[in-house]
Structure 1
Amino acid sequence: MKLSAQWSIIPTAIATVFALSGLAASQPVSISPGSQSISLSGTSGGTRKDAGCAGYIAKMPNHTIQVTADTNLRLSLQGAGAPTLLITGLQGQNICLQADKLSKGKIEIPGRWTKGTYSVFVGDRAQGQNPYTLSIAPQKR
């Protein structure tokens, strides 16, 4: 009986590890000209201290955005705590913004996005972990 109870713990532990690792990996989102607006959500923060402006971020990006052709987009982040938004893009370029008290946890980035893949990290300056919503919308010139 004891042996059988111990063996049932191992598959449960393995399943838990795979489930948690799936949460850490970001699913790519594809954006093309004329796409509909999309809304993504998650939890900000992490254990990795970013030396730049992003505060504490996760080891893996919260989201991966693939822009299929040059297009105008508006990214809007709404979150609790002290949210930051770090986007790494083509050739190691970084965009990093912080919400301030006046914005009440909102960060917006409008502009022209070049075809390519971007990693999005939603951090927290105070090492908190808070819910957020990231909206990506096409924008007219």
Structure 2
Amino acid sequence: MKLIKQLTLAIILMAAGTTNVQAQNVKVPKAYMFGFVASFNDSTVYFTNIQQVDSVWVTKKKNMLAGRNHYSYQLREYFTQNRSLPNRTCVVIADVNRKNLEKKYAKMKNKYLVKSKKPYEVRSIAETDFKFKTVDMSYE
């Protein structure tokens, strides 16, 4: 039940990222991000490592990743094509400050490893297997 609530929240956050907000985007030299993948059908969740991505677009006021949906689609496509695991919920969490992102990463991973009442199988995705590619948001 708790997994369903968390995945529902993740879907809502993804949907919020796909709306066309008229925030001004700026290009930063680098940002850090990690991906989280889950499914309603099993108890296996996946985490990518924290990755540095160069030339990333963020919203001007809040430094939020612009085009989060494009990055989550990259992860979804990887799971569909390379792992034959379609229909996964993919979420990308990013920050321009690595220490802030490391805290978010540890907190999220801790939920599935330690604090969870239901046993989850937590798997890591190596950077050699999947790496986020820069998305050009200059046209939006």
TM-score exceeds 0.5: no
Q: TM-score, with normalisation over the residues of structure 1? A: 0.30
Larger fraction in helix? 2
TM-score normalised over the length of structure 2: 0.30
Structure (1 or 2) with the larger CA radius of gyration: 1
Which has more strand, going by share of residues? 1
